[in-house]
Structure 1
Amino acid sequence: MDFLSNPWALVTGVGVAMALHVLAVKVLAEKTSKKLPLWAAFVTEVVAGLILGVALFQAMKWLTGLSGAGAVLGAIGSIVALVFGWQAVKMLVAMIRDVADGKPDKEARRAALWVPTLVPAGLAAVTGLVSNPRGIGGGIVAAIQAGITLAYTLSIVKETIKAQKHQVPWRWFAAAVSLVGGLVLIAAIAYIDGLLADYLSGNAMLALRLIGGAVGLAFAIAALADISDGVPEKHVRKFATFGLPLLYLFGSAIIAWASKNASSGLDLISGSMS
């Protein structure tokens, strides 16, 4: 449902979220170091963030769906929302480290508000790109989103693998972040692939897709060897970020090409032996 069809629901949601935030900051966590009030403030901030996140998600869906003169505004908004979404994931890393001592401090409580607020907006930006294509303009936005995703994914992974304690859980967290980055790249690469198909020949597109599928397959093989000890290291992260989108989008092209050429090869052998 378009959030503009019921603006009072949006106003009410934002008002409730702000009230909860004030409760957390000014009442529950005001000048105290006790764990129970701080955790109560933390949970209250999460609830406020979830409410704001739902409102922002609906607003972003509307913004990215604009057409005509509003399409430029929608494109800019989707890029900004994606940045906010990835910044929220980066804040999540700091939040996890902050609560590791069993007490959510100020930075953790701030992240508890903003992470659930901003992550849905980033998701809406990506889904908006897929569901509302805009030709070459959409391709430019897709390329920008891919660049932003790569930059944040690599930055967050670099930050997490530096952890000296709980290294195995952090390795899995880094793999999960890489997977999220790869899923975002699927949408961007698919959009760019469709755009290139309008300008390149069929043979050129087939060659590009075969190369992409082969690279994705190579990443998958390396990842399987990497995960054999139960700890996801760099090859798993590379597959999740780069290999998965390529294999998902172009793996079928590799299979179809291999099947066709295998049949041709058998026919050639059969002909030479007869």
Structure 2
Amino acid sequence: MDQFVIDMLNSIGGGVDQSIVDKLLQTPAEYSPALYDLSLRVATVAVKPIAAIVLSIVFMLELARASQKADGDRELSVRLIGTLMVKVALVLVAAQNADLMLKAIDEVGTSIMGGVSSVATSTDTSGTTGLGDQMADAVRDAGWGGQAACLVLLIIPFLASKAAAIVFTVVVMLRFIQIYLMTAFNPLPIAFIACEETKQMGIGYFKSYASIVLQCVTLWLSIVFYRNLVRDVMRPGSYTEGDSLSGWIVDQFGNLLLASILLIGVVVISNAIAKRWLGSEA
């Protein structure tokens, strides 16, 4: 029974498994090559033809608008049509290679994450994990009755810590699913940008994609901050030899539960911070 108590304390103090956190370092192509290739195929086979139709309509509207502006002026007409043709060529090339723009954003995110993780990994977080291992002797000395009492007292913080870890894992998975879905529709935003009336829709798409990519950076930093803060919240040093372990857990019950609630809060605010980076509303 003592090992159960130790494992529960480790789970409460550990927060999120490091293997899940490490997935934030992966690019969309590395996280799931199959899903990434599928999203690119959908973009090529299904979305690009639609984008081409939208672009053809936009170009016709732009041509009609240019002819109205020229109003019989041949020199102005040639200048406007020439400018429009250059714009058409550039937009067509951009639409055909829209995935390169998303890859460029991925590279920017990877570069930022590389710098952040190099600093974050040097941060001392050794005291934030292994709470049960730190108190293993006290758990064994508590005896069968004390260990049973600890199991009952720890069940709520333990379940809360597992719920928080699940929330974090789901957020990481949903982040990549969002990226794959947005990648699948990447040619359309270029078509929207080509038209003055819908330009903000295309710009909003790329801002949303960038915010999702940057969210991995905020999540990573949030976990580093969380692990340092929770070390002080847990306060394993407040237990002294000879004290009642169950009494210590009762005294620290609020802090043990707070650690899990704090993790959920960290996940929630990380997305809002990523949006604020780009000047979007949280």
TM-score band (shorter)? under 0.3
TM-score, length basis structure 1: 0.26
TM (normalized to structure 2)?
0.26
